Structure 1
């Protein structure tokens, strides 16, 4: 009994997935313009340490600065806010240390204060070497005084000696544990070194100290750095608390109110974020971002039309091209979600005309055009995205998929190969390997196809990948391997096509009874499937059920199966 030709014919139906079907399973890679992206606008710590040299010099030159020494019970002076002199005295006041506090440093003599002032002046004028000499001289004379260590740290940083500066900041922290400048600046150095968890810890310590020792401006400076690291770490609960403190310190700041609303949204408090978001909507500087956030909140509440209305209102008054482009891009997403694909494409096209350097916008336009069946237009959009970000493996993989669907196999193979040589995520690698596997199958390179598809399935299991892996294995007459792969495809997504092919593989593997059970279930669900009836007839005939096989062939023939008519002769 020659089953193989009929089975091969049945398996050839899988080619119906070859064109758009293969491309459609590739994941949408357009970058979302959402809340988390907006949070990136929270600025981090200044690239240089604070207080700035000018501020420290002003503090040192102020007569009241002479009465402040490390180890006082009273809070240390904030930036630009020298400690007040004790009434009726110009002499240094030395407080007794509390438990756990270092012993207070001897007060600076008039000569030492002069050296300190000269060192800060030299540092401000750019003479770090001279400043360093002055600070080191003070340390040798009065090691426990923290100001000399802080000044030396600044001078060392100006000379590019980061590790030495880090040591001096550590000494500042040890000698003056109530001053926030030490942990703050250690946090700055940690950020510069890419040590973000350490930076988060340092800024948290600095914020705790600044709450009781710094001016409102100083607290905001430290809290801004803390918020930046919390955002980086996706600690949105902590970020919400930090931004709440910042808004309390600066209640008229619309940008801070917007950031707080974003953090509230990210912690699942979108409705609670609405009042602050609408306040930010009234400020020209934050209007566009506020409208974007409102669209996010309303969409999450199942009210996309309300979000669209807010975007449209903002577009009536926002004039900056960059902001209009972002609003239009978000409008395109909402319109697409509402099923208005033509209007969504128009909005995306308007966005890229205003901001032609936005690769993510071109990628979205490509996705929208592809969804509307315009593969050539999608290819043009993704080509622009890839030109703007030539090292983006996602965009290159989408190009490969689109070219595959358009029959441009050589270009598709080149793009997929380029994507695999980039810094691609496992998911993107899997998608690129799927394209290569389909190309190899199309070229009758079945062994290579199996290798690529098996690697793809290991990274990103999908019904389609296992389907094509099963077809490739079948072409190599590895019926056991084909059955295994097709079984997984059916498990993940039991389409009639996958079930028909699994039935064929089971027959080829000599497992007729299993094939009959599978195919009987298929024809029961889809009685108009001629190919399934034909395969059921083959399974019954292989199992010695001639009468039942003939009945299945008759059903298939009645539905137009030429192969079934031949089997009835």
Structure 2
């Protein structure tokens, strides 16, 4: 039976996004990573205990809904209570939380209808990780000072800490509205940073663009905010609108590789890959940091490969590894590009380096296993596949590791094991190759019905000549002669010199008691050099 072509497994690894940082009351908020990584926000000053309000306003409950105005009027702090408040604030700022809690609670008891002791107590309880108590006190604060942004902001902090991200987004939005024209620039940045983090988490890039534009307006010299704004606009589908901001940023900081990469992404999205390449080449003349140059060269390699210039792509990826010998993604891409050019030894070396740098990356290791399988390093490929499965991958990576295990088992004559793991591979992610090898393994094990079913699936997914010829063989072994004949007639009509197909066609015709047709087919096969056909004619 004709053996199928051995295929090299490859796969480009995608970088994982970094999850969002948890918010805390007195810590700076940072944004999450999205695609090319949204830059983290600059550190903002912590919010100060607010000034004493002079007039009461309608109350708002902690969930953000408006309630009736408080039944009592806000009572100003007396001179002595103001001294007590300052002492409690100093204790809090010094980290003396137990003392601060006692002092704030005493003030609450002495003047319950003033918002300041409630707010200070809430801060202290959050510092002591008493979120339930802090939520209650913030609710009291908001009822007494509904026009103050600190209430919804800090409730948003607690919501983020608890993983209630939708609630956090709404609370930060409310805080941003309330703080307008009231908060200091530092406080505004902190609230907007928190809001942008939740918008990033929710992938609301349109809203994020608006928030980041407000941040840039607060501090036009903040280059990271400028970059994040351009990136958010790009991710919201406004890449062309982001271009002026990116060019302005590069004018201020010509060596920013992230901005150059974003610029290339925008031009690719606009259907201008050649322009993107020129921008990357220009950036390479300005950028001197090796790690940054490596990233630029890797992106260039991807663009060159997409254009069909795999030779230049290999050179660019190779240069990326030389600029930064710790860039595992560059080594993996180099391995993939070399494999695509049938340079298996070069691919093997590149993938070995990628796996050495990132041993927990299942995609890199399964690609290595595929290259080894293509080089007939069966035992090593099986070992790599087992190492991949130990990492508990999912989806296509899992299926590919099982595929390598299955083919390795087949080559070592372990047909039952091959059928088992290839069946699992097909269940995880169906592919023509896995179905082909499953059919071959089942055939070798003598299970012709399973072989015919698997090979039929392979033909359905990708009707290669190899798959159809093996399907015909399985159909013959299963005594499904008319079906086998139909497949074989298609093969000989495509390639009249296919001796094996003519031979099997003759067998299918003979099994259907059509000896004259069978002899014509067998004679054709014999003329083409089939020894088996010559024997069948005797």
Same fold (TM over 0.5): yes
Structure 2 gap segments, 5+ residues each: 18-32, 59-65
Structure 1 residue 212, shift from structure 2 partner: 5.7
1:333-352 aligned at under 5 Å gives the runs 333-352=302-321
Q: Which region of structure 1 is more displaced relative to structure 2, 395-404 or 210-219?
A: 210-219
Distance 2:183 2:108 in 1: 25
Q: Which region of structure 1 is more displaced relative to structure 2, 543-552 or 500-509?
A: 543-552
Structure 1 residue 278, shift from structure 2 partner: 2.1
Distance 1:550 1:70 in 2: 107
| 1:51–1:181 contact (8 Å) kept in structure 2 | no
| 2:46–2:187 contact (8 Å) kept in structure 1 | no
Distance 2:517 2:124 in 1: 94
| 1:105–1:142 contact (8 Å) kept in structure 2 | no
Q: Does 1:483 align with 2:417?
A: no
Distance 1:44 1:153 in 2: 26
| 2:267–2:273 contact (8 Å) kept in structure 1 | yes
1:84-163 aligned at under 5 Å gives the runs 100-103=68-71, 104-163=73-132
Q: What SS class does the counterpart of residue 38 from structure 1 fall into?
A: coil
Aligned residue in 2 for 1:405: 374
Q: What SS class does the counterpart of residue 444 from structure 1 fall into?
A: coil
**Structure 1 residues 405-428: Cα deviation after superposition (integer angstroms, max 9, x where no partner):** 233333322221222121412221
Q: What SS class does the counterpart of residue 407 from structure 1 fall into?
A: coil
Structure 1 residue 507, shift from structure 2 partner: 1.2
The 1:137/1:323 distance shift into structure 2, 3 A limit, reads same
Q: Does 1:535 align with 2:504?
A: yes
Aligned residue in 2 for 1:40: 38
Aligned residue in 2 for 1:419: 388
| 2:57–2:145 contact (8 Å) kept in structure 1 | no
Distance 1:366 1:128 in 2: 56
Q: Does 1:71 align with 2:39?
A: no
Q: CA RMSD in A?
A: 2.8
Aligned residue in 2 for 1:28: 12
1:516-531 aligned at under 5 Å gives the runs 516-531=485-500
**Structure 1 residues 182-235: Cα deviation after superposition (integer angstroms, max 9, x where no partner):** 232233334344444443333233233334643454333222222222222323
| 1:45–1:188 contact (8 Å) kept in structure 2 | no
Structure 1 consecutive aligned stretches of length 4 or more whose deviation exceeds 6 Å: none
The 1:562/1:386 distance shift into structure 2, 3 A limit, reads same
Aligned residue in 1 for 2:468: 499
Structure 1 gap segments, 5+ residues each: 1-9, 60-64, 74-97
Aligned residue in 2 for 1:256: 225
Aligned residue in 2 for 1:13: 3
Q: What SS class does the counterpart of residue 13 from structure 1 fall into?
A: coil
The 1:153/1:275 distance shift into structure 2, 3 A limit, reads same
Q: Which region of structure 1 is more displaced relative to structure 2, 454-463 or 320-329?
A: 320-329
1:295-306 aligned at under 5 Å gives the runs 295-306=264-275
| Paired residues, number | 516
Aligned equivalent of 2:424, options 425, 449, 455: 455
Q: Which region of structure 1 is more displaced relative to structure 2, 131-140 or 547-556?
A: 547-556
The 1:265/1:538 distance shift into structure 2, 3 A limit, reads farther
